[in-house]
Amino acid sequence: MASPYYVYAVLARETTLPAGLTGFGGAALCVVPCRALAAVTSILDSAEPSPTSENLLRHEAVVESLRSAGPALPVRFGTVLANQDMVTQALAARYTVLSADLARLGDKVELGLAVLWDREELADTAPSEHHARTTDVERSPCSGPGVRYLMGHLARHRREMFWQSRASRIAQELDGMLHRYALESRRTLLPTPRLALRATYLVEPSRVEAFREAFEEIRQAHPRLRLLLTGPWPPYSFVTPPDTLVPALSGDPLGRL
């Protein structure tokens, strides 16, 4: 039975791999070509690597080393295909998209940005008049349980809409300051109540320092918020997502490549 192939990255077929670079368990890296592209893989002799910190760092180290040798698309941790033929089929199935992504992203990096807040600390900016009005209704002896429930629900909705609007304003301010240094961006508002915003920015390596300086200006202008910047990382967030109709191979979506 053939051993499965673990996939690290997709790059141009003619790219020379860094000398001495190995994959999981010290396995030699092997290149699986498909026309002008190639997937960098290693054969797994044991179980698929679990997402431990050590394994995640090992995957990232291989991807970073490959990108130092030339433009390369990162493949997400845990992408395993049954054999070499399956790797070739995966490349062929998304060849046009992968070629375009390699040209667009191969030498770019992404920076991750998070904005954390303490809603209690910022409570003085919340719509307290809505809360007070609703609390009075809830306590009124003339109000039935149905009215009190609806008013309470309305108050919670208004407060959430307020925080949603505030997170949106923060995102717009960040984009206004940072868009000149970035090629593309992705953002998610309020993924958790504690996290106002999570965003990623696609940046030319030569613009990373300017981006950091602009971020620092924003951070200092908002002492009541906690702004965090990470990276640069390979541009995982900007690789074109797979078509949901693409079939799965060996339990992994073909589109993960």
Residue 208 has pLDDT above 90, yes or no: yes
- Name the pLDDT band for 143 (thresholds 50, 70, 90): low
Span 169-196, average pLDDT: 88
The one-letter amino acid code at 241 reads P
Cα–Cα distance, 86 to 83 (Å, whole number): 5
CB of 40 within 8 A of CB of 9? yes
| pLDDT at residue 119 is higher than 80 | no
Token duo for residue 146 = 């149905």
Residue 139's pLDDT is what? 54
> Tell me, what's the pLDDT at 1?
60
pLDDT value for 169: 86
Sequence-ordered list of residues with C-beta below 8 angstroms from that of 79, at least 6 positions apart, any chain: 6, 7, 252, 256, 257
Please compute Rg for the chain using Cα positions: 24
> 109-234 adopts what CATH topology?
Alpha-Beta Plaits (3.30.70)
% of residues, the chain, pLDDT over 90: 59
Tell me how far apart the alpha carbons of residues 236 and 105 are, in angstroms, rounded to a whole number. Answer: 9
Asked whether the predicted pLDDT for residue 101 surpasses 70, the reply is yes
Q: Pinpoint the residues of the chain covered by CATH 3.30.70.260.
A: 109-234
